[in-house]
Amino acid sequence: MDGVSDKATPFAAFLGLLIASAVLLSIRRGRRGKELFLRRIPGLNSVDEAAGRATEMGRPMLYAPGIGGLGVVTFASLALLQHVARIAARMGTRILVSVCDPAVFPVAEEVCRQAYEIEGRPEAFRNEDVRFLAGSQFPWAMATMGLMGREKPASAFWFGAFAAESLMIAESANQVGAIQVAGTPNLDQIPFFVAACDYTVFGEEYYAASAYISRDPVMTGSLVGQDIGKLVIMLLIIAGVILSTVFGVQGNPLTGLLR
């Protein structure tokens, strides 16, 4: 990439290690049983509601882990997939998983299989419900839209990396009357999901999903660490604004550190 180094500058390394330390220390506090405050995230509270609606209506749920490959974004989505699949197994509701990336497909299938086994219903898992529909963006979007038209899911979960197809799939789900919960770290797609979905999770909340839902002390600790990391960045922004106002942008000592 032009102008962007793949090596850390001393300040970037310091900041990265500082945030990582905050996360790890908070995890340690959580492990020790310290009571940690967790702010409410409405979008994630709605996951159980959407899953319950599908059960009430006797229609399937649809889950898509995005069009990205196996990376941090997709792993965060797969953690949530396990939660949704467990609800599906517990309530006897069918869950359809629409996969775009071939590398994600076997992992998604295994995640769902495990979820059914954990709930003690391995025989209810149908591996044909986890589907690799197409390997590229628009064919996958069309196949997912077709799947929604045929199966009429009562709830749809869009969690992962999405691009221009986000609005197409969300609007199609809206047309079949599905309640929708979406989450993505892709900044460009957030407005589309906000416009078309019932609940949207974005920013750092997307990565908080599995931790927030599990309420596991270790995971909760990492969420608190995330918030401390954000606080560090906010303080740096305020310091940057003050220093730039006093010394000018070129004379700002923080600007020198960034190089």
Give the Cα separation of 179 and 140 in Å (integer): 21
Question: Per CB under 8 A, does 125 bind other proteins?
Answer: no
Total Cβ atoms within 10 A of residue 157: 30
Stretch in the footprint of other proteins (CB under 8 A) among 41-49, 55-63, 153-161, 213-221: 213-221
The reply to whether 258 sits near other proteins by the rule CB under 8 A is: no
Q: Closer to other proteins by CB, 127 or 245: give it.
A: 127
- Which is nearer to other proteins, 56 or 103 (by Cβ)? 103
Does 111 participate in binding other proteins (rule CB under 8 A)? yes
Q: What angle do CA 75, 84, 203 make, to 5 degrees?
A: 50
Among residues 88, 125, 223, 252, which is the contact residue for other proteins, using CB under 8 A?
223
User: Site mask, other proteins, residues 126-145, x = CB under 8 A?
Assistant: -xx--xxx-xxxxx-xx---
DSSP 220-237: HHHHHHHHHHHHHHHHHH
Q: What angle do CA 129, 133, 139 make, to 5 degrees?
A: 150
* The pair of three-digit structure tokens given for residue 190, joined into one six-digit string: 């957030």
Q: Does 107 bind other proteins (CB under 8 A)?
A: yes
Q: How far is the CB of 132 from other proteins (least distance, A)?
A: 4
Minimum CB distance to other proteins smaller for 70 or for 176: 70
Cite the DSSP H helix spans in the chain: 10-31, 42-57, 72-91, 104-118, 137-151, 166-175, 190-196, 204-214, 217-247, 253-258
Instruction: Tell me which of 187, 246, 250, 259 binds other proteins, using CB under 8 A.
Output: 187
Q: Give how far Cα 44 sits from Cα of 24, 47, 107, 152, Å.
A: 23, 5, 23, 23
Look up residue 146 and give its two tokens.
């077709």
Choice from 116, 159, 202, 212 touching other proteins (CB under 8 A) = 202
Residue of the chain from 92, 102, 122, 256 that contacts other proteins (CB under 8 A): 102
Query: Coil, strand, or helix at residue 179?
Result: strand
With CB under 8 A as the contact rule, the residue among 11, 25, 171, 243 that binds other proteins is: 171
| 28-67 positions binding other proteins, by CB under 8 A | none
| Sign of the alpha-carbon dihedral angle for 66, 47, 84, 173 | negative
Interface with other proteins, residue 199, by CB under 8 A: no
CB 73 within 8 A of CB 185: yes
- Judged by beta carbon, residue 28 or residue 56, the one nearer other proteins is 28
Q: Which stretch binds other proteins (CB under 8 A): 42-50, 88-96, 164-172, 250-258?
A: 164-172
Question: Site residues for other proteins, window 78-97 (CB under 8 A)?
Answer: 78-79, 82
Select 66 or 225, whichever has its Cβ closest to other proteins: 225
Binds other proteins by CB under 8 A, chosen from 25, 36, 57, 118: 118
Which residues have a Cβ under 8 Å from the Cβ of 166 and sit 6 or more positions away?
Answer: 158, 182, 184, 186, 189, 192, 193
